[in-house]
Amino acid sequence: MAQVIKLNPPNISEATIRSLKKGDIVSITGTIITGRDVAHKYLEDHFISKDKPTESEIPVLEDLKQYTQGGIIYHCGPVVAEDNGEYKFLAAGPTTSIREEPYEYDVMKLLGLRGVIGKGGMGPKTLKACMDLGGVYLHAIGGAATLIAQNVKKVKGVIKKDFGTPEAFWIIEVEDFETVVTMDSHGESLHDVIQKQSEKKLLELFETL
């Protein structure tokens, strides 16, 4: 049985991340944030493309960095219930990550992230970010939204709720959230391996026709 490696975000060290290899199973217990399309575009527009953010936005970045320095962002558009000001995740499945490919390098650098969770993998720009910055891409199980929600033990807060529930930054405490390293800090991508194997198999099938 494969060894399960435990990560406790935030404040994961670069050395810990660089010790991980493609195919490693990782169990996450700690505080992470969610963020997908609107969140990434917001960070790009307000903090990355601009020479200087507006004063009203600086506290947002400071709030985020409490949880992202050495931390993990989860590409997730959750279903969330609210009861007397308390939030609970009802569904927490991963979003297809490739949509964030144009932004992820800069977002990882801006927020000091060590990990990105999603599904479907990402492209060369994000793989380079993992190599340059000391990060990993972690694949979560698609189609298991309600199951993953059981690993969300507490919703600690929400930033930019005005983006709407699926697009806001949710600060969540997770326990035993299992993922697989599919892109590591050494330039290895399981997604590339599978794609090449699939292309080879497809060519073999065509040759038999």
In this structure, what token pair is assigned to residue 148? 């993953």
What are the tokens at 127?
């793989």
The structure tokens 């558009």 sit at 77
Task: Compute how many other C-beta atoms are within 10 angstroms of the C-beta atom of residue 107.
Answer: 23
Among candidate residues 40, 75, 139, 191, the one labeled active-site is 40
Instruction: Give CA–CA dist 109/132, Å, rounded.
Output: 10
Cα gap 188→29, rounded to integer Å: 25
46 flagged as catalytic = no
d(CA 7, CA 17): 9
CA–CA dist 110, 36 (Å, integer): 15
Residues 6+ apart with CB under 8 A from 154: 172, 173
- Integer Cα distance of 5 and 18 in angstroms: 13
d(CA 83, CA 188): 44
Question: Mind telling me the catalytic residues?
Answer: 40
